[in-house]
Chains A and B, each alone.
Chain A
Amino acid sequence: MTTEIMPGLALQKVDERIMTLNVGPQHPGSGHMRIVVQIDGDYIVACDPDPGYVHRGEEKMAEYRNYITNIPHLERPVIHDSCNVLYPYVLGAEELLGIEVPERAKYIRVIASELNRCIYIMYWLAIYGIFLGHSTMFMWPAGDREFLIDLMEKMSGARVTHAHFVPGGVRNDLPPNFEDVCLRQVNYFEKRIKEYAAVFYDNPILISRTQDTGVLSKQDAIRLGTTGSVLRASGVDYDLRVKEPYDVYDELDIHTNVMKEGDAYARSRIPWLDMMESCNIIRQALQKMPKSGSVRTKLKPNPKTKVPATVYKRVESGRGSLGCYIVSDGKTEPYRLKLSVPSFRNLIALPYLLKGEKLGNMPSVYWSLNYWPVEADR
């Protein structure tokens, strides 16, 4: 009940039973964001997520930098998933600049993007483990990421922010003997993540914590505009790699993991299944990749777009569909750039999921949304 006593100044009458609790913005259970929770005893009555603490103006910065020097900036929102964050921008810039991409570069991009997806999900899984008090599940994924980070380091020269994709292909060719090393480490990585079933996913303690908490029905998932693993955990078969294939994803055989429960357990299990699918895709791409050839179309140092145009491209990132909208006015810089990020779209579901839950279930529901605060704030 709100009464406005002056323009802009409102008084709210509160129930004596209801307590307002700020979780965050410096709480280890929330990341760089605040969740304003109203609780009645142990039960959540209402919840208001409050992002925006790490807004860095990435979109505005992009208007003052040319198409090449934008690359290190635009991968900063999610540094663990930096290839996938950059992917829609690179695809859009290629269409604006009118560049053809060599076939081998497309396969290298697919491998890099799938490796990055796994690196991101492992980091997410490590934090999900420690949110639930399962410290083994923090140590194992944090250690097993190393196999893939090592591959990305060999491929691009950097462990975290790679700056590897450019309009026209990738920055450098694969190092010698990379295919064998990649196959060996990816196979071992898949063997390792299958061991997580006994210790985490089939663990009765985890199941009792997450099953039937924060249930999102199929209709609500579509109505609220969620995406990625949240949408697939609610029973919607939607993956941009299959539905709108970009680069060479249409030549690869991809299976979409769908669960129909829509609870926190399903949302935490879908990324784990996605990692195994990513290992599958990497193996297929290594097999089908042309063994030699160019990896980058040569560009002028400061390329200009041909005509004023707009372009919208989207890819399936580790969290869901990630879009990039570029308006060009024929200069060396984009006129306007906008990112449509999956984290923000998944966060919208949080108030609906937490209503009626116990306060102790908040971390398990919140982090199961595959939410990354820095990406939501850009």
Chain B
Amino acid sequence: MGTATGIIRALNSGIKHMAIKRFTLRYPEEKLKFVGDGYQFDPSTGVGIAGLKGRHMLFHDHCTGCQLCSIACEGVAEAIAMVKVPEEQKQNKKAIMPQIDYGKCVFCGLCVDACPFYALYMTNDYELSSFSKEGLIYTPAQLAVKPYVAQDSEIQITARGATHG
């Protein structure tokens, strides 16, 4: 193959891209669709349930204040601190619950694996940016809120190329 033929073939391959569909995603308007409701863990079988590892969700009626999530995080990111909570739960005599600093969290999900009481899960919420360091620290009350996550785009493969439909 001659030099001229090779260059023309390379240009031709690029020109074909003018006809195929746009693959990029217009992020704040369109958001990716995820599998499930976030990463969860079933302590009875020891196997997790697939999902995005995003912001945590804490169930106050399940948490016993056993600190296992905090101990699991000690060797990883030291993001979890146990703090006093005002409300009194029957199963939580010490009234302490995890508070997570997302400035340190690496979203590995080992704290979810450590929880034996189905109290700590992860959710699809990944938009956690804040203007201050304090804004990244989520208290037990903030962690109890189930986030609303808009999901509309999924990769679709058509004859005219792939697109985020």
B21 within 8 A of A: no
In the complex, what distance in Å separates the CA atom of A328 from the CA atom of B74? 21
> Given B12, B47, B77, which contacts A172 in the complex, CB threshold below 8 Å?
B47
A72 and B110 within 8 A (CB): yes
* Complex interface: chain A residues within 8 A of B41 (CB): 172
Which residue of A is nearest B113, CB measured? A171
* Complex interface: chain B residues within 8 A of A156 (CB): 50
B49 and A203 within 8 A (CB): no
- Interface set, chain B 24-81, CB cutoff 8 A to A: 24, 32, 34-36, 38-39, 41, 45-53, 68, 72, 74-77
Known: A163-B108, A298-B45. A157 touches B10 (CB 8 A): no
B34 and A199 within 8 A (CB): no
B9 and A157 within 8 A (CB): no
B36 and A175 within 8 A (CB): yes
A158 and B46 within 8 A (CB): no
* Complex interface: chain A residues within 8 A of B143 (CB): none
Which residue of A is nearest B114, CB measured? A301
* Complex interface: chain A residues within 8 A of B49 (CB): 172-173
**Would you give the 0/1 interface string for A156-198, flagging 1 where the beta carbon is closer than 8 Å to chain B?**
1110010100000001111100000000110010000001001
In the complex, what distance in Å separates the CA atom of A245 from the CA atom of B38? 34
A198 and B13 within 8 A (CB): yes
In the complex, what distance in Å separates the CA atom of A62 from the CA atom of B44? 29
B110 and A68 within 8 A (CB): yes
* Complex interface: chain A residues within 8 A of B53 (CB): 157-158
A154 within 8 A of B: yes
Known: A69-B72, A185-B157, A204-B6. A174 touches B50 (CB 8 A): yes
**Would you give the 0/1 interface string for A202-215, flagging 1 where the beta carbon is closer than 8 Å to chain B?**
11110100000000
* Residues of B in contact with A, size category: 35 or more
In the complex, what distance in Å separates the CA atom of A68 from the CA atom of B76? 10
* Complex interface: chain A residues within 8 A of B3 (CB): 204
In the complex, what distance in Å separates the CA atom of A301 from the CA atom of B49? 18
Chain A nearest CB, measured from B123 CB (Å):
11
B122 within 8 A of A: yes
A136 within 8 A of B: yes
Which residue of A is nearest B122, CB measured? A157
* Complex interface: chain B residues within 8 A of A301 (CB): 68, 114
* Complex interface: chain A residues within 8 A of B107 (CB): 158
A376 within 8 A of B: no
A296 within 8 A of B: yes
In the complex, what distance in Å separates the CA atom of A216 from the CA atom of B138? 55
Chain B nearest CB, measured from A278 CB (Å):
19
Known: A71-B108, A188-B157. A153 touches B10 (CB 8 A): no
A298 and B46 within 8 A (CB): yes
* Residues of A in contact with B, size category: 35 or more
In the complex, what distance in Å separates the CA atom of A176 from the CA atom of B41? 16
A64 within 8 A of B: yes
A146 and B47 within 8 A (CB): no
B1 within 8 A of A: yes
Known: A66-B75, A199-B10. A173 touches B50 (CB 8 A): yes
A172 and B10 within 8 A (CB): no
* Complex interface: chain A residues within 8 A of B52 (CB): 153, 157-158
Known: A69-B110, A157-B53, A202-B6. A136 touches B75 (CB 8 A): no
A157 and B39 within 8 A (CB): yes
> Given B76, B114, B155, which contacts A185 in the complex, CB threshold below 8 Å?
B155
* Complex interface: chain A residues within 8 A of B14 (CB): 136, 199
A279 within 8 A of B: no
In the complex, what distance in Å separates the CA atom of A296 from the CA atom of B46? 7
* Complex interface: chain A residues within 8 A of B114 (CB): 301
26 contacts across the A-B interface (CB closer than 8 A): A65-B76, A69-B74, A69-B110, A72-B76, A72-B106, A136-B14, A143-B24, A146-B155, A150-B32, A157-B39, A157-B52, A157-B53, A157-B109, A161-B108, A163-B108, A171-B48, A172-B39, A172-B47, A173-B49, A174-B50, A185-B157, A188-B157, A198-B12, A202-B1, A202-B9, A295-B47
Which positions in B face A, CB cutoff 8 Å?
1, 3, 6-7, 9-10, 12-14, 23-24, 32, 34-36, 38-39, 41, 45-53, 68, 72, 74-77, 106-110, 113-114, 122, 155, 157, 162
